[in-house]
Amino acid sequence: MNDKLIYPYRLDSNARYREVVKFVMTYALASITVPILFARNILILPTNVSLLSIFDWEVYLSWFFCVLSILSGLVFYYASAVWIRLAWGEPSNLFGCKIGDNCTERILDCTFWLSILFCGIGFALIIRFFLLFVT
């Protein structure tokens, strides 16, 4: 490994982006679990009522988008590790393919924004479901 960091700014900026993605992934995971807790504890549904009979397509679509958000975040983290390796001037690959700075940066940008977008859509669908929920 090189002794000299070629792109020192990458370490700081990468850490900041990783914090945002970590927050979004946590939020997406919470958006998957909160509907179950909310339905049982806030709506005070009887325990003999199945949540499957209450949840509709919006909840399931919300979970789908939240899972996509988490997966996008995981790809971001993987590409982030490649980005740091490239900052040290080390050759690197992504999913077994040799990759350069420009391609890695595009993957980071894309997965960063997709993670945020998917989480936002998932959360909006959950909110919409509960706002329009009629017992």
The residues spanned by each domain of the chain are 21-131
Mark 69-107 as b/e (b = at least 16 C-beta within 10 Å): bbbbbebbeebbebbbbbbbeeebebeeeebeeeebeeb
On the 0-12 / 13-18 / 19+ scale of CB atoms within 10 A, 18 is middle
**How far, in whole angstroms, is CA 120 from its chain's centroid?**
10
C-alpha span between 18 and 22 (Å, rounded):
6
Cα gap 80→78, rounded to integer Å: 5
Task: Encode the chain (135 residues) as per-residue pLDDT tens digits.
Answer: 556 766 777 788 888 999 999 999 999 999 998 888 887 777 777 777 777 778 889 999 999 999 999 999 999 999 998 888 888 878 777 777 788 888 889 999 999 999 999 999 999 999 998 888 765
